[in-house]
Structure formats: C-alpha cells, structure tokens
C-alpha cells in the first residue's frame, strides 16, 4: 500500500508550513504553505542558504543555528515564539510581522543517516497578540481599579465630614457609590470604550422620573463620549439631580429641570446645559465648599479637561459644562 502513496504530493499539500534543508542549511524544497506564509517561491529559495533568503542579526542566527545543529545531531529541537519580519509588498510598510514557533527534526535517508533538517513552522501570532491585549487590559484594569478605590476613599472621607452621623452618612454615601456603579455598568457593557450620553443622563434621572417625569426635559443629538469623561459626568449629573431633588427645582411642585447638549464649532466643543426653573427663592448664593459642589465645580473640569460654570438667579440655576473633544 505504501508504494501507492505519493509522498511528495502529500508533503506539498500538508496544511502546516514545512521546508527541507540540507546539512549546510540550504533549501532543498518547501511545501506550498511554507512558500505562502514566507511570501516566496520555490525558484527563489531552492539551493539558497536560509539566512541569505531571510537575513537575521548575528545573535539570532546563532540562536537558530543551535536549534538546527541539535536536529543535525539526531535530536529534535524547538525554538519558541520568535518574531520574524517577512517581505510583503502588499503590506503598508512593505513587510509583515509574524510570530513563529519552529520545530527542527533530523532528515534521514533510507539507511537512517542524517542528511539534513526538516523545518516545521507554527504561526503563534494570534496567541502573542491575544496576550498583548490581555496585558494591556490588565494594566488598564489595575489603573482603573486604583482610580476607583481612590475615588471611593475620597467620597467616603468627604461625605463623612459633611454627615458625621451614620444615619445621615450611609444614604448619601450609598447614592454616590451607586452613581459611580451606574456609569461602570455602561462602560463594562461597551468594553470600556464609550457610552451614549443620553443613556448616562437617563440613568442618573431614573430615581426621579416617576415623581417628576413631566418636569424633566432631556434633549440633544446622539453622542457617544469617552469612558473617563462619562465617569466624571455621571458623578456631576448625580450631584446636580440630588441637589435639585433636595433643594432645587424638583423639591417644589412647579419646578422644572431641562438638560440639553449641543455641538459648538468655534471653538469645537460639546456644550451641556443643566437649567433649573421655578426654584424656591434663593436669598443668598449657595455655599461652594461642600463635597457635592467640589465634584461639580472642581472634579469635573479636572477629569474632563473642560470647564464648568454655574449661575444662580432668584428662582433659577444654570450649570454649563463645556467639553473640548469629548465626543467619540
């Protein structure tokens, strides 16, 4: 039966890249897959020294030669996960970067004598890229977690300063943490890329929609914003909504809140306006030293690179947030 098998054809059609080298590391033959992944032809490489076809540094040549020499002495060898640059005229830079694990085996004749080397190539580029992505994600996750814990610590400390009694502290602290969690859920759903501004707004207004739905107006074009900006805006919207419910427009029957956003071309920016009308009469300018005010007036500009301006009138308040390059 073996006499009827076309071993040359089988070698040529193998799905993995293979090449045969003589004892001096000159190409004898290569199968179709090897020629395909190296972007070469058999005419180009046959009889050629492997490091003339694929030039390498002296250090890498020494490493690869050690693997070939081990196979030439009768023991299979493996070179793990090395980067290779393959000429590719169709690529943007004129070459492609790939990662291979190579296997070297002794090539024997009918008597068992070693006459060369069998080279098998295993493409591990996808594995390397997946690990790179994983490492980036883990570093980003670590960075975000550290930031998140720092924010939670600051919120706990400053809320505790404003509400020293536990009965007063817990509801305020929990609501602020929930505001952070709402934004985090949106970011997780979009794989930490960006979020829809309208959805972020609706999340923060949700606790007040049933009681004051008709008095809350939300308007603006469909816009997606970057994750770090979304986190800052989520906290700002939470503080504004909480203040409106406690002391502002949503604390009185005829009060109204309008939240809108629009593009500005000169300068290019996203402008968000929070307007409250029908407030209880404001006799004096509200204090700006509270933690909620700090989140709105200090934290938001710091995190977004934008500006925040709040204007109070006798029965109204307007908060304008201007964000350059916030849209994604």
Q: What confidence tier does 211 reach under pLDDT thresholds 50, 70, 90?
A: low
| 328 pLDDT higher than 60 | no
Q: How far is residue 322 from each of residues 149, 229, 273, 296, 305, measured CA to CA in Å?
A: 27, 12, 9, 12, 9
CA separation for the pair 270, 200 (Å, rounded): 15
Q: How far is residue 142 from each of residues 148, 154, 183, 189, 233, measured CA to CA in Å?
A: 10, 18, 18, 18, 22
Q: How far is residue 312 from each of residues 212, 248, 317, measured CA to CA in Å?
A: 22, 11, 4
Strand partners, 79: 102
Average pLDDT over the chain, rounded to an integer:
86
Answer left, alpha or beta for residue 94, where phi above 0 means left and psi between -120 and 50 means alpha.
left
For residues 215-233, give the mean pLDDT: 89
Q: Which domains does the chain have, with CATH numbers?
A: 2-123 (3.30.450.20), 128-323 (3.30.565.10)
For residues 6-35, give the mean pLDDT: 93
| 60 pLDDT higher than 80 | yes
Q: Who's near 74: CB < 8 A, 6+ residues apart?
A: 106, 114
Q: For residue 2, what pLDDT is reported?
A: 54
CA separation for the pair 21, 199 (Å, rounded): 62
**Considering only CA atoms, which of 118, 119, 85, 120 is closest in space to residue 99?**
85
| 252 pLDDT higher than 70 | yes
Q: How far is residue 50 from each of residues 30, 46, 68, 81, measured CA to CA in Å?
A: 12, 10, 11, 19
Q: For residue 174, what pLDDT is reported?
A: 84
Question: Out of 109-113, 124-128, 144-148, which region has the weakest mean confidence (pLDDT)?
Answer: 144-148
Predicted TM-score (pTM) of this structure = 0.56
């Amino acid at each position: 039966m073996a006499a009827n098998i076309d071993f040359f054809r089988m070698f040529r059609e193998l799905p993995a890249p293979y090449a045969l080298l003589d004892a001096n590391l000159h190409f004898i033959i290569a199968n179709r897959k090897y020629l395909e992944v190296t972007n070469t032809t058999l005419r180009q490489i046959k009889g050629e020294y492997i490091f003339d076809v694929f030039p390498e540094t002296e250090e890498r040549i020494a490493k690869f030669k050690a693997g070939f020499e081990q196979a030439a002495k009768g023991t299979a060898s493996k070179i793990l996960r090395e980067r290779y640059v393959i000429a590719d005229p169709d690529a943007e830079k004129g070459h492609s970067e790939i990662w291979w694990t190579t296997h070297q085996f002794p090539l024997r004749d009918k008597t068992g004598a070693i006459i060369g080397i069998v080279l098998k190539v295993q493409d591990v580029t996808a594995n390397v890229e997946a690990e790179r992505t994983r490492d980036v994600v883990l570093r980003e996750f670590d960075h975000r977690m550290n930031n998140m814990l720092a924010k939670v610590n600051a919120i706990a400390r400053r809320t505790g300063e404003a509400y020293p009694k536990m009965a007063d502290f817990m509801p305020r602290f929990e609501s602020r943490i929930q505001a952070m969690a709402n934004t985090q859920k949106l970011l997780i759903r979009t794989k930490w890329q960006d979020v829809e501004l309208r959805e972020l707004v609706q999340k923060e207004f949700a606790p007040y929609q049933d009681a004051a739905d008709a008095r809350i107006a939300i308007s603006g074009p469909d816009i997606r914003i970057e994750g770090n900006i979304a986190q800052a805006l989520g906290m700002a919207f939470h503080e504004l909504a909480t203040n409106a419910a406690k002391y502002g427009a949503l604390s009185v029957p005829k009060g109204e809140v309008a939240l809108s956003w629009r593009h500005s071309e000169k300068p290019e920016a996203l402008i968000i306006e929070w307007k409250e009308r029908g407030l209880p009469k404001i006799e004096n300018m509200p204090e700006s030293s509270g933690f909620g005010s700090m989140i709105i007036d200090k934290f938001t500009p710091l995190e977004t690179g934008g500006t925040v301006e709040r204007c109070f009138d006798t029965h109204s308040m307007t908060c304008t947030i201007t964000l350059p390059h916030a849209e994604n």
